[in-house]
Amino acid sequence: MSINKKVIFEDWGLLDYQLAWDRQEAVFNKVVQEKTDNRNQHTDHPTHNYLVFTEHPHVYTLGKSGKHNHLLLDEEALAEKEASFYKVNRGGDITYHGPGQLVGYPILDLDNFFTDIHLYLRTLEEAVIQFLADYGIVAGRYPGYTGVWIDPDNERARKICAMGVRSSRWVTMHGFALNVNTHLDYFSNIVPCGIEDKAVASMQQELGHSLDMDEVKETLKHHIAQQFGMELIDHKTNNPENV
């Protein structure tokens, strides 16, 4: 097949989780259909890739392998917190999204990069690890779990970036949630990612000050593009960022 490493970048801003999910599904289905058409019509048209950044209002999401009792709030308490709850078709357990947290949805045809979900996750993790190093935050991986952690080798281990993906025909959706200026108290209402004895962290907490989200996005975009060998194209400006 024709290899296409161009990736369309879109920033959806602060967007309701259900609306973002619907948009994701539409883009995901479009790429899957492109692959199906190539197969059925014996064509070799390049498939599209997308990288989406967004933030969500307060919401808890439960993955396919998660346990409902890891949400510690009932419907009334959710309403008091002005938070919503969804069961979703990604891997992983329960997590929280909210303002100040950068959520990334790579919708990639991995046939354009590499067909290995484990390598895909490790590559996303590496991009976040290298990004955090730019801010003086030393991070790494916690054995047996996905995501990016601070102090992963001792009892103070705390997760700063959660990950959960879905893949069909090697097309990905869902992705990662990086705590930048996140209100961490919302995590006290869940068993984060099903891990009962570990804490969560944010860049703001680690550095002692809030960060400019636009700067964070630009820096993280660069590291993701670098790790995957992407050519990012901003959907608004149509200017390529060659890496």
Q: Can 161 be counted among the known catalytic residues?
A: no
- Domain span including residue 121: 6-125+164-191+212-241
Residues 238 and 5: their CA atoms lie apart, in Å, by 15
Angle, vertex CA 110, rays to CA 108 and CA 116, nearest 5: 130
Distance between CA atoms of 143 and 195, rounded to whole angstroms? Answer: 13
Sequential DSSP letters for 125-194: HHHHHHHHHHTT--EE--TTS-SEEESTTSTT-EEEEEEEEEEETTEEEEEEEEESS--GGGGGGB-GGG
Half-sphere exposure (Cβ direction) of 216: Cα atoms closer than 13 Å: 22
In a domain, residue 147? The reply is: no
| pLDDT of amino acid 99 | 96
Residue 14 belongs to domain with CATH number: 3.30.930.10
b/e 62-84 (16+ beta carbons within 10 angstroms → b): bbeebeeebbebeeeebeeeebb
Residue 230 lies in a domain: yes
* pLDDT tens-digit map of 173-215: 999 999 999 999 998 888 755 555 578 999 999 999 999 999 9
The pLDDT value given to residue 241: 44
Catalytic residue among 193, 200, 224, 230: 193
> Could you tell me how far CA 122 lies from the centroid of its own chain?
13
SS3 for 199? strand
- pLDDT-based confidence at residue 102 (cuts at 50, 70, 90): very high
The verdict on residue 233 lying in a domain is yes
pLDDT tens by residue, 116-162: 999 999 999 999 999 999 999 999 999 888 999 999 888 889 999 99
Say what the pTM is.
0.90
Is residue 151 a part of any domain in this protein?
no
The span from the CA of 78 to the CA of 30, in Å, is 34
Domains contained in the chain, number: 1
Domain contains 156? no
Could you tell me if 108 and 153 are in contact, meaning their C-beta atoms sit under 8 angstroms apart? no
Of the CA atoms within 13 Å of residue 163, those in its CB half-sphere come to 21
Q: Is residue 51 part of a domain?
A: yes
Residue tagged 């993790």 (tokens): 125
